[in-house]
Structure 1
Amino acid sequence: MMAAEGTEEFSDNGHFTNPTGFEAPEVTDLAKPDEGISEDIGGSGTEMEEPSATYSGPPLEGEEEEEEGELPVDFDRLWKVVSDNPQDFNGWTDLLQYCEQEGHMTASRRALNAFLVRYPLCYGYWKKFADLERRAAHNSKAEEVCVRGLKAIPLSVDLWIHYINLLLGTLNMNLPESIHRIRSTFEKALAAAGWDWHSDRLWDLYAEWEKEQGDLRAMTAVYDRVMGVPTQLYSTHYEKLKSHLTSYPLQDVLSPEEYTKLQAEYKQIQIQAKKEGSDTTADEEKERPPGEEEPADSGRDSEEAVQKMQELLLASREEVYLQNESEVRKRWNYEDAIKRPYFHVKPLDRAQLKAWQSYLDWEIAEAEAVQEVPEETSEDQGVSKVCESVAGHKRVVILFERCLIACALYEESWDKYVHYLEPRSLEETRNVYRRACEIYLLHKHTFHLQWSAFEERHGNILEAQRILETLEQAMPGLVMVRLRRAGLERRLGRLDQAESLLREAVEGNKDKPYLHAFFSIKLARFLLKLGKNPSKARAVLQDAIELSPENSKLYLNLLELEISGDLRVNGGGVQQCVSKALAAPLSPETKILFSQRGLQFAEDFGTTVQSVLSIYEEHQKLLDDLGGKKRGAENGDNDDPEKMIKLDDGSAVTAVQGAPPSIPPVPMTTPPPPVMGGDTSGYGGYSNWYQQQQQYGGYGGYHNPWNQYNQYYPPS
């Protein structure tokens, strides 16, 4: 029998009018979709290809022999559009529509292969691809396409039905091996997609197929299984099961074991009723004369016995049905809130994203409330088996897989999944990371970085390195990736490799002054803190200053380097750095800051008082040159309670006037010098500044450029 697949149509943008084909898995090995599909299939199980720069999908077996000569006239133009911008979904659909109109096999294969590598969740195009091959009488290739599609999206009821119909239409059903293959394919379909809310058509198709084979017991078994699955049409299955059980002799629809058990139960009820004297309908057993044998059993139950056994049979099924109905009711509102359970490149609205998250949170909470059920639970435990099936880890995985069809392009959905899986299975978590990063989140670098950290955390260092290297090749110039690579090598103790990566970044960004300065600071810090080589660190910063003399961060880091060094070896390094900053094309506010820090350093570490006073005079002269307003703020004679000295990088230094000094003035043995520019505050002005020096951050401020990493990243 050829099953009715419905009349799903899809427009050029991939939006399907009957989108029930995106289904959910039952078991946790869905994270390994390459397994368990192709072993019973005649064609070769082609693996999912990795996206490539040319987007040319792998040819099917024998395809090279069937090239149709030149491609259609507009193919190259449309192909170039998607090659230049692979994320242009409309460009892809224009190309596919054109190839379909032209009816050119080679062009269609190339376009469909490339498109389905990038958008494997568009099950309608897998169906189109298979139909294309079948119309060309390439039945084995049509099967290969279906196998590839089911490896990419094993959750699609529609694709499974399409594949089964393809087999039914091409196999010789008079052969026993064909029957075995169809049944095996049905079982794989149910394992992958049979627990989805919209999987009813697949269950019905399986049951009807078993009926066509004349195996009524197998049909009963299929309906018994679906009775424990919360689906949208759960009540319809129950009605079909009741009709089936009452339309045929019980020994024909029940397994021998269940039929024997049912007969024993019926006889036990008869005996119990006879003992209690309450059974007026049971056939009384009459005593026979000695020597008379019991009459032979005809092998048929009486009409009354059949009716009673049917009642017992339906009562046991109804118990399972009611339990399943309870589970359906719990999920009904959540399912009703999901309006787009299929994949599309169009963004989901906020309400839909929230609906999925709420459903997942509820299902996870349900799983946590259910104790683990042993895998050896027997088939005849009825209600307890339903409880095992609808709750726990399996149900959560099912829902996550369904969510990741509709929300495949949303990083937060994948992130939620891996955080749920990691405490339970590292391999499944790894498979989810791989699917997300290699197919759906190609340009979401943060998730790739998270994957690398996951692998490093669990000791898979080579894989962590590979992930970062691959990401950097795909997205060259991304600062965070190079830093992660260097950090990984550093944590492994491979300091030479870490230094090499940073130097390579410095050399490779000479045409980008901002990035060159950023990586120079990182390299200098590395050489100073880990390499214990201040001379190399100084040389790196000085080279960067030559290239970017207007970058204040470079001077700040050079100043910090000089201050942290051995003053007995290079005592003049700090003042040289200050002088270089004052001569550079920096903003007035930044120059004042450097002058202040130079003055503070001289006060703390100067060898003669004359040098301190000389630097102070230079500082006062700088204030005069930059205007009286800034000099007034420096000396505290401004009415404004707060003044902010802002740096180029957005940070600020606050001077609070009138605040009580937390550091007492240092006694001076030399009278204050005359104040430049008519300042009558005398040395007390300098003393007041010195008391307030803590408001400028002191030496702690020098560490700010090292610690506030975010300010160094280039704008996104």
Structure 2
Amino acid sequence: MATECETSGDGELGDPSAMEITEVPILPPPVMSDENGCADLATEAFAQGDTASFSPPPATEDEEGDLPADFERLWNAAHDNAHDFTSWTDLLQYCEQEGHTAASQRALMAFLGRYPLCYGYWKKFADVERRAGNNDKAAEVCVQGLQSIPLSVDLWIHYINLLLGTLDMNLPESPKRIRSVFEDAVVASGLDFHSDRLWDLYVEWEKEQGNIRNVTAVLDRVLKLPTQNYSTHYENRFKAHLSSYEPKEMLSLEEYEEVRALCRETQKAERAEQAKEKGNEMPPGEEEPATPEGTDSEELIQRIRDQVLSRREKIHQENENEVRKRWNFEDTIKRPYFHVKPLDQTQLRGWHAYLDWELAQLNKDADDCNKDSKETDADAKEDTEGPESTAQTQRRKEECQVARDDHRVRFLFERCLIACALYEEFWTRYIQYLETRSVDEVRVVYKRACLHLPSNPNLHMRRATFEERHGDLAAARRVLEALDKNRPGLVVVRVRRAALERRAGQLERSEALLQEAVSQSKEKPTLHAFYSIKLARLLLKLGGNPGRARSVLQEALEISPSNDKLHLNLLELEVSSELCSSAEAVQKCVTRALAAPLAPHTKIILSQRGLQFVEEYSNSIQSVLSFYEDHQKLLKELGGIKREAENKDKGQEKVVKSEDAPADDASTQAPPTDPQVPITVPPPPTMDMSAQSGGYGGYSNWYQQPQYGSYGYQNTWNYNQGYYPPS
């Protein structure tokens, strides 16, 4: 069994359109009309990106006992590593070799729930049902597949051939159903560059039904589409069709009467001119012999054919120009179907370039439309034709052109997202394009994107943000909860969930999420410290409970006594508390830190911060001098190590210097000679992380850049200038 997933499209289905289409329809929502298939609840849920209802039911004991010998082993191997494509194809190949219907059904349903863009396996699934004699089930499988990949020309053709081989065409409703499916197919996938086989099949079927006017209508539609075999449709099919039937049989009544009247007027004018040149004017009261009513002369028929061909020739030339514009882009697409193997950079760049070009065409036409609208509005008062002005008519044409280009852009995105379904960048581009047009469409695209990229945290979090921004907090919660289960231990997801609950006013939920993370991470001290700091800040700043915040940090220090960030945050909590109770706590905090196995420069920072606190808030000069002497002793003990650390971090301090720090760093100031000169020290840093977090993306920096700046301590303050005489 080949592991290559042959598909040719992915988009949304719509209702059948009439044979005559004057405007290109916008891609409709993914709902299959009931008359064309078995659109059940499972199908609709699957189309919306929810595969839960599409999962296979558990096998009964009888089925389990009847399964092939190695089925259970291969089934478990595939489910244990659900993202391993090879494990799934091994299971499917085994079921196919065994020819076991029940096993194949289970395996294919589970596989397609994870890889719904694989056209080849939808076809195999339908064939399994048909060989088992379940023709209705086979049709239902095709419908389910087309809900996932309605741009797939191959799957549409397979579905149509299935219906042609199973329906009783003697029944009057059978041709109607086939025609309706053809209409669904060409509306959904007829714009594909490689859709020629579908259009050819449609033309041949209408010809077999003897519907000559319908054949013309289908050919007229494909003549306007830039497809790979555009020339064949005109040169071979349309010209042969035009010469094989009389115009009255093949043209619509409206076009036939219009062209016939035009040709007769032209014929009459030419004969009058010829007679005038020869001087053989007829006597008054006599006219040309009339053609029997209801018949056309051979000359008139030929004139009508020439006029019809001239009109189509103009359309063909315009379409040829459109094909020429797209040919180089199409030529770079070597793999238009889905596969788990990465695409080469040439094809990825080609898709981006193709999308850029289509978007540029849309913007150009929109600008031209706006410009022309202003010009036609200015002439509207002077130029009117009946109930509708020329300006209004022109505007409708321009708006139709813009809508047509918008449809082409959407269609190209849908084609791109078949081959590039595993590339986040293309989903993001599509979402950005739709955001200014329809919230509901963006929501559907997000669901589809998350179905194909279930483990991509960025995409899921953006989806959660989108839902929250548009007021659907329940949906945002579901997305983040599912991601948290799928990617356990991912810090940014848990922090995002807590932030969502905080913004929703659910502080208890936010606290519970962080508390759970703290409890679950005790075996990982660094991660435990991170969550503890987050929880402590929530309790302090939003919960107004410094006691609980202090307990959280102290408990974390018991697990990670060497974590400098915990010491720094605990010290900041203490210096921010009520003055009546903080002096002793600050002293105790500094003492604990100096006894801990911390780096020398960290101890100096903590000691400096304690000295700053007593200097600013202590009521006793003796306590200030005592703290100062202890600090001087520490500097003497760790001075050499400290200077080495300062030299090492000198370049970094220039970058991370806090905004509220003084212009001149204390380490570069000359010691004052006047003892009355006040000591200048930087204000205390805050515990606020917002300035350093950089939004949601900043959480990853915590692992990559272990800077004190991320925790509110970005500078060192030197108190070794001898401001105080020794006691």
TM-score (norm 2): 0.82
Correspondence list, 1:577-596, <5 A: 577-596=589-608
Query: Is it true that 1:505 corresponds to 2:517 in the alignment?
Result: yes
Structure-2 change in CA distance of 1:581 and 1:386 (3 Å): closer
Code of the aligned partner of 2:75: W
Which one of 641, 647, 663 corresponds to residue 630 of structure 1? 641
Q: Which residue does the alignment assign to 1:435?
A: 448
Checking the alignment, whether the CA contact within 8 Å between 1:24 and 1:196 is kept in structure 2 is no
Checking the alignment, whether the CA contact within 8 Å between 2:5 and 2:117 is kept in structure 1 is no
Structure-2 change in CA distance of 1:412 and 1:704 (3 Å): same
Query: How many angstroms apart in 2 are the aligned matches of 1:81 and 1:54?
Result: 22
Query: Is it true that 1:349 corresponds to 2:313 in the alignment?
Result: no
Task: Give structure 2 stretches of 5+ with no counterpart.
Answer: 15-23, 374-387, 706-727
Q: Which residue does the alignment assign to 1:363?
A: 358
Number of residue pairs aligned between Structure 1 and Structure 2? 661
Code of the aligned partner of 2:605: L
Code of the aligned partner of 2:56: G
Checking the alignment, whether the CA contact within 8 Å between 1:342 and 1:406 is kept in structure 2 is yes
Q: Which residue does the alignment assign to 1:57?
A: 56
Checking the alignment, whether the CA contact within 8 Å between 2:192 and 2:227 is kept in structure 1 is yes
Deviation at 1:314, TM superposition (A): 0.6
Structure-2 change in CA distance of 1:319 and 1:278 (3 Å): farther
Identity %: 52
Which one of 319, 327, 339 corresponds to residue 324 of structure 1? 319
Query: How many angstroms apart in 2 are the aligned matches of 1:298 and 1:492?
Result: 80
Checking the alignment, whether the CA contact within 8 Å between 2:427 and 2:449 is kept in structure 1 is yes
Code of the aligned partner of 2:558: E
Deviation at 1:562, TM superposition (A): 1.9
Deviation at 1:510, TM superposition (A): 2.6
Query: How many angstroms apart in 2 are the aligned matches of 1:95 and 1:632?
Result: 65
Q: Which residue does the alignment assign to 1:248?
A: 245
Query: Is it true that 1:414 corresponds to 2:413 in the alignment?
Result: no
Query: How many angstroms apart in 1 are the aligned matches of 2:64 and 2:440?
Result: 44
Query: How many angstroms apart in 2 are the aligned matches of 1:293 and 1:276?
Result: 14
Greater fraction of residues in helix: 2
Checking the alignment, whether the CA contact within 8 Å between 1:560 and 1:703 is kept in structure 2 is no
Query: How many angstroms apart in 2 are the aligned matches of 1:293 and 1:54?
Result: 75
Code of the aligned partner of 1:57: P
Checking the alignment, whether the CA contact within 8 Å between 1:46 and 1:144 is kept in structure 2 is no
Checking the alignment, whether the CA contact within 8 Å between 1:455 and 1:461 is kept in structure 2 is yes
Q: Which residue does the alignment assign to 2:684?
A: 699
Which one of 685, 710, 714 corresponds to residue 699 of structure 2? 710
Structure-2 change in CA distance of 1:564 and 1:701 (3 Å): closer
Q: Which residue does the alignment assign to 1:209?
A: 205
Q: Which residue does the alignment assign to 2:675?
A: 668
Checking the alignment, whether the CA contact within 8 Å between 1:200 and 1:232 is kept in structure 2 is yes
Question: 1:452-491: per-residue Cα shift (whole Å, max 9, x none)?
Answer: 1111111222222222222223333322222222222222
When structure 1 is superposed on structure 2, of 268-277 and 544-553 the one drifting more is 268-277
Question: 1:493-512: per-residue Cα shift (whole Å, max 9, x none)?
Answer: 22233223222322333333
Q: Which residue does the alignment assign to 2:78?
A: 82
SS across alignment from 2:582:
coil
Query: How many angstroms apart in 2 are the aligned matches of 1:655 and 1:630?
Result: 25
Deviation at 1:699, TM superposition (A): 2.5
Query: Is it true that 1:572 corresponds to 2:584 in the alignment?
Result: yes
Structure-2 change in CA distance of 1:293 and 1:195 (3 Å): closer
SS across alignment from 2:142:
helix
SS across alignment from 2:410:
helix
Structure-2 change in CA distance of 1:703 and 1:387 (3 Å): closer
Deviation at 1:448, TM superposition (A): 0.9
Structure-2 change in CA distance of 1:284 and 1:398 (3 Å): farther
Checking the alignment, whether the CA contact within 8 Å between 1:72 and 1:104 is kept in structure 2 is yes
Which one of 297, 307, 313 corresponds to residue 312 of structure 1? 307
RMSD: 3.9
Structure-2 change in CA distance of 1:227 and 1:15 (3 Å): same
Deviation at 1:617, TM superposition (A): 2.4
Deviation at 1:422, TM superposition (A): 0.9
When structure 1 is superposed on structure 2, of 594-603 and 167-176 the one drifting more is 594-603
SS across alignment from 2:168:
coil
Q: Which residue does the alignment assign to 1:678?
A: none
Q: Which residue does the alignment assign to 1:258?
A: 255
Q: Which residue does the alignment assign to 1:337?
A: 332
Q: Which residue does the alignment assign to 1:14?
A: 4
Query: How many angstroms apart in 2 are the aligned matches of 1:280 and 1:108?
Result: 83
SS across alignment from 2:36:
coil
Query: Is it true that 1:186 corresponds to 2:182 in the alignment?
Result: yes
Query: How many angstroms apart in 2 are the aligned matches of 1:53 and 1:525?
Result: 39
Deviation at 1:700, TM superposition (A): 3.3
Which one of 69, 76, 83 corresponds to residue 73 of structure 1? 69
Q: Which residue does the alignment assign to 1:402?
A: 415
Query: Is it true that 1:465 corresponds to 2:477 in the alignment?
Result: yes
SS across alignment from 1:395:
helix
Query: How many angstroms apart in 2 are the aligned matches of 1:304 and 1:595?
Result: 109
Checking the alignment, whether the CA contact within 8 Å between 1:14 and 1:93 is kept in structure 2 is no
Checking the alignment, whether the CA contact within 8 Å between 2:75 and 2:91 is kept in structure 1 is yes
Code of the aligned partner of 1:629: G
SS across alignment from 1:644:
helix
Question: 1:257-312: per-residue Cα shift (whole Å, max 9, x none)?
Answer: 2111111111222344356559999x9988656xx997562422111111111111
Q: Which residue does the alignment assign to 2:99?
A: 103
Question: 1:185-216: per-residue Cα shift (whole Å, max 9, x none)?
Answer: 00000111011011010001000100000111
Q: Which residue does the alignment assign to 1:682?
A: none
Deviation at 1:361, TM superposition (A): 1.4
Which one of 649, 660, 673 corresponds to residue 644 of structure 1? 649
Structure-2 change in CA distance of 1:15 and 1:293 (3 Å): closer
SS across alignment from 1:572:
helix
Code of the aligned partner of 1:245: L
Checking the alignment, whether the CA contact within 8 Å between 2:194 and 2:228 is kept in structure 1 is yes
TM-score (norm 1): 0.83
Question: 1:535-592: per-residue Cα shift (whole Å, max 9, x none)?
Answer: 2221221121122212111111112212222323422322222111111122223222
Query: How many angstroms apart in 1 are the aligned matches of 2:457 and 2:607?
Result: 42
When structure 1 is superposed on structure 2, of 150-159 and 506-515 the one drifting more is 506-515
Query: How many angstroms apart in 2 are the aligned matches of 1:316 and 1:551?
Result: 81
Deviation at 1:179, TM superposition (A): 0.2
When structure 1 is superposed on structure 2, of 394-403 and 610-619 the one drifting more is 610-619
